[in-house]
Structure 1
C-alpha cells in the first residue's frame, strides 16, 4: 500500500481530554490522558497491520499541531490468511 492508502488513526485534543479517531469504529474513543490515548492508537494500528493493512498513527498536541507519526506496515501474511495446522 502507498501512504495515500494508509489507515489513519489520530490522537487529537478535545475539551477535557484526548480523542482517538480510527477507521475501525465510527465512535471516537475518549481518554483523560494523552499517553493512554497514544497507547490505544498504537494498539489499533498494530491490529490493522496484523490483518494486512498499512496504518499510520498521527499524534497532535493541544494546539492541534502534528508532533509525531508512526507507520505500521501490513504483515506479509495477515492473521486472517495464515494456514491453520491441525494439532495431532
Structure 2
C-alpha cells in the first residue's frame, strides 16, 4: 500500500502488539481482540485526518487472518465535485 499507513496486529511475548508505520510507538495489549479494536480505531482516525490506512491482523501462528483498508476522508475545504 503506497502512500498510506500500515497498522499490524501480531502476537508478542505476554500479549499482542499494534505497530504502525510512520514512527508511532508500538502499543501492547493482553487481549488480541483489544489490540485489533485499537488498531481499527487508529486507522479510522488516520482516515478522518486525510490519510489512507490498512489494518493487518495476524493470529498466534503469525498467519494473516484479517485485513481492512481505510481510505482517506475527503478534506472539508475541498471544492465540491
Shared fold, TM over 0.5: yes
Give 2:4's aligned residue.
6
Structure 2 CA distance for partners of 1:40 and 1:24, relative to 1, 3 Å:
farther
- Structure 1 ranges of 4+ moved more than 4 A: none
Structure 2: 5+ residue stretches without partners: none
How many equivalent pairs are there? 77
Q: Is the Cα–Cα contact under 8 Å of residues 5 and 22 in structure 2 kept in the other structure? A: no
Q: Distance in 2 between matches of 1:21 and 1:72?
A: 16
Give 2:28's aligned residue.
30
Give 1:52's aligned residue.
50
Q: RMSD across aligned C-alpha pairs, in angstroms?
A: 1.4
Structure 1: 5+ residue stretches without partners: 84-88
TM-score (norm 1): 0.80
TM-score (norm 2): 0.86
